[in-house]
Structure 1
């Protein structure tokens, strides 16, 4: 990982209706060290965040001019400092009209990867911490939160401006509870949603399940597990699922088999890329349910091996109980007796 450019701005709006207070930092070229470590942690939070949205820049440049400024920067028509001056100015203007309190650091990072370049916009929040000062008096101070990330966007520059430009080059983190500042951040980025994640999750699950059923019963579970593992790895990297890559992962001997099967049985996007919700993809390998004071979850591989379901009596029989569960049950019964 190498940061080409980085700049931060602290902004606060404590009195809705009054101008927001801002403190911009200098534009840093290849800041290295501590900044790299901070960005690495923010990326880790970004990649692990569930419920991300995927889309593109709004075409309304009057309302959302960031994409035009960014393009000028990429074409070297303006410097990084000039780009961020404009971006920070718009963020302050948006916060001026905000009716909710806000404070946080807006950080923009231009990162060069081995095979691509990306831009991150992140809102870094503060945590309150206690310390003893030089006189051993207790003092409250603010520190950067390294465990929360509720507003951020990643821009895949090559997918946006490259020869094979795609439609979903923006990845957005928009956490619950961000309120009006969250909506203003989306406006600042110029994000417009193009991907129905719920629909693509269903498409992914249906395609894998149907493909698994074409295999022998003893191999179907392995197909589901490999599909889930692939999806989980992509989520950890912050990447969507490419059908062609998944196809090769599911069957190394016949790498095109799943791809051809899915093309015939599912409505795949032209890009051949899906953005499934990794939390729901877990249904491929786990069966779970709760209600009526009971919560049950187990690997689907255990059905008809250690767990048996009788449809007629609607009864579930569990054998080979986990040791911890067995001990709890025995202890509970002994206490009752």
Structure 2
């Protein structure tokens, strides 16, 4: 993950309403192992965060100037330090207006992952840590708290440049303490929510369940494909990358690499060619299976409580919305 440019500015702001004080860095972080480790940890922490949203830029305006500054930097009319300086000044002004915000270290980093350019911006707090000195004594130090990042955004610069009509080239952390706590940071980026990650993931999993049912797959094959889908989507989430339907379709079936993708398109589920995977939704998508005396039962975990109800005391299952093919067979047998 080559780091192209990176810089850290510091904003001092207390929650007591006192003015924010901006400390602008004199230049970029120099190339070093410490810098690369910092950016690597920042990205790992960001990727691991749940509750992220995906979106795109508002049209450039006085209220949303960030995309214009970023465009000038990418065009070469501003260098990275100039771009970060004007951006962090804007962030400080917005922070002043927010009674819920406190200061922090504003990290800007332009890096390359594979063939894709990214810009990540995060406001990172500091915390105390204890270290051992060479003289075997303990010393308290201040460190960047990369484990608890609450305000951050990542922009896929390559997608923004190549596909400006995309609605998911920006991802950002949605505040756990409510929208207002992170709204000023989203305004700073000039981002509007464009794709519902959890909703898209649920639709993908619904399409997969329908696909498995339509293919009339055996228990073992269905379980294997379910594990393959979840593993692939989780791996993409860990990398901060979207799930690509064509690639997922190939992963699911080497012999028929287009089968699942064609099924989704033919049935018009309304999914984009790529979508941001939501880890919480994926974690609920596990398959329960069992077989005894000619009875075989298999269903996804997310159906528990809706189409499948389990009575723990009586050890019974109640099934709803049975497949038409099965109900037709039962009606014929009952007749």
What's the TM-score, normalizing by structure 1?
A: 0.80
C-alpha contact (below 8 Å) 1:204/1:276 kept by paired residues: no
Give the Cα separation in 2 of the matches to 1:212 and 1:198: 21
- Give 1:279's aligned residue: 280
Give the Cα separation in 1 of the matches to 2:312 and 2:10: 62
Give the Cα separation in 1 of the matches to 2:151 and 2:15: 22
The C-alpha deviation readout for 1:6-59, integer Å capped at 9, x for no partner, is: 111111211554320121223326623211100100100111111211110111
1:144 is displaced (CA, Å) by: 1.2
Give the Cα separation in 2 of the matches to 1:52 and 1:310: 31
Give the Cα separation in 2 of the matches to 1:312 and 1:92: 56
Matches within 5 A, 1:93-172: 93-100=93-100, 102-129=102-129, 141-162=141-162, 166-172=166-172
Give the Cα separation in 1 of the matches to 2:184 and 2:98: 8
- Of stretches 185-194 and 123-132 in structure 1, the one that deviates more from structure 2 is 123-132
Aligned Cα root-mean-square deviation (Å)? 3.1
- Give 2:182's aligned residue: 182
Say which SS state the counterpart of residue 152 (structure 1) adopts.
strand
1:312 is displaced (CA, Å) by: 9.0
- Of stretches 154-163 and 41-50 in structure 1, the one that deviates more from structure 2 is 154-163
- Give 1:34's aligned residue: 34
**What are structure 2's unaligned runs of at least 5 residues?**
299-307, 317-335
- Give 1:25's aligned residue: 25
- Residue 179 to residue 129, structure 1, CA distance change in 2 (3 Å): farther
The C-alpha deviation readout for 1:234-293, integer Å capped at 9, x for no partner, is: 111111111101100100111000011111224233x4112232222233325xxxxxxx
1:164 is displaced (CA, Å) by: 7.3
1:139 is displaced (CA, Å) by: 7.5
Give the Cα separation in 2 of the matches to 1:212 and 1:73: 48
C-alpha contact (below 8 Å) 1:212/1:224 kept by paired residues: no
Give the Cα separation in 1 of the matches to 2:311 and 2:194: 45
- Give 2:69's aligned residue: 69
Give the Cα separation in 1 of the matches to 2:29 and 2:133: 34
1:94 is displaced (CA, Å) by: 1.4
Give the Cα separation in 2 of the matches to 1:310 and 1:19: 56
- Residue 69 to residue 220, structure 1, CA distance change in 2 (3 Å): same
2:315 corresponds to 1:316: yes
Give the Cα separation in 2 of the matches to 1:210 and 1:15: 51
- Residue 150 to residue 261, structure 1, CA distance change in 2 (3 Å): same
Give the Cα separation in 2 of the matches to 1:138 and 1:101: 33
Matches within 5 A, 1:289-328: 300-302=288-290, 315-316=314-315
Say which SS state the counterpart of residue 315 (structure 2) adopts.
strand
- Give 1:231's aligned residue: 233
**What are structure 1's unaligned runs of at least 5 residues?**
287-299, 318-337
- Residue 261 to residue 180, structure 1, CA distance change in 2 (3 Å): closer
Give the Cα separation in 2 of the matches to 1:32 and 1:188: 29
2:54 corresponds to 1:54: yes
Matches within 5 A, 1:7-26: 7-14=7-14, 16-26=16-26
Give the Cα separation in 1 of the matches to 2:74 and 2:43: 22
